[in-house]
Amino acid sequence: MPVRPVPAVLASAGAALLLLAAAPSAPAAPPAPADTKEMVTVDKTARIAADGTVKISGTYRCRNNVGPVFVSSNVGQGTSSSDSLGSVTVRHAIGGTHAVCDGAKHRWENTGKPAPRSLKAGKAKVEITLMELRPWGGLPLMPHFHAQLQQDVTLAKG
C-alpha cells in the first residue's frame, strides 16, 4: 500500500518554496580586491664573490598562509644558447629563504654558488618568487604564489 505524505509537511514545503521564489534576490558580492599588501622587492645591486658565490637581497610582505612560505630567487646573464623559439638565457637558482607571513615588511637574503661559474660582474636579470606550499591531502604540495618580480640588477664584485 503506498504511503501518503502528511498534508502539513507538504504545506510547509510549499510555503518555503514560495517564500524563496518571492524574496528579493540579494546583490552579488563584489569580487575580492587583489591583496595589494603582498609584495616582493629586490635590491638594485647583488654581489658576486671571487669564488662565484652570489648574494641577492630585498624585502617582502605576505599574509594569510597555511603552509610554509619561501622567497626563492634565480639569476641569469646574457644569452647562453638558442633554440627553435629564439635565444634562451640560462638561469641559476640562488638559494631560498623561509618567509614569515604576518603582514609586516621583512628583509630576505639568498646566497648560492651556481655551477658552472658562468656569472660575472655586470648586468643580470633576477626573478624573485614568494611561494607557499599549501597542504593538499595532508602533504604540502599545492603551490600558491603570493608575489613575483622580474627585474634587472647589477652584479657587483664583493
**What is the tens place of the pLDDT at every residue in 83-95?**
555 666 789 999 9
User: Quick one: which of 77, 41, 54 has its CA closest to 150?
Assistant: 41
When pLDDT is averaged across residues 105-125 and rounded to a whole number, the result is: 93
| Angle formed at CA 33 by CA 31 and CA 38, multiple of 5 degrees | 145
Residue 2 is classified by DSSP as: P
N-to-C CA span, the chain: 92
pLDDT at 31 > cutoff 60: no
Percentage, residues of the chain above pLDDT 70: 70
pLDDT of residue 104: 96
pLDDT of residue 6: 38
Mean residue pLDDT of the chain comes to 79
pLDDT of residue 82: 54
Buried b (16+ CB within 10 A) or exposed e, 36-73: eebbbbbbeebbbeeeebbbbbbebbbeebebebbbbb
Percentage, residues of the chain above pLDDT 90: 59
In angstroms, rounded to a whole number, what is the distance separating the alpha carbons of residues 39 and 75? 19
CB-CB contact of 7 with 26 (8 Å): no
Does the predicted model carry a pTM greater than 0.95? no
When pLDDT is averaged across residues 73-91 and rounded to a whole number, the result is: 73
pLDDT of residue 140: 66
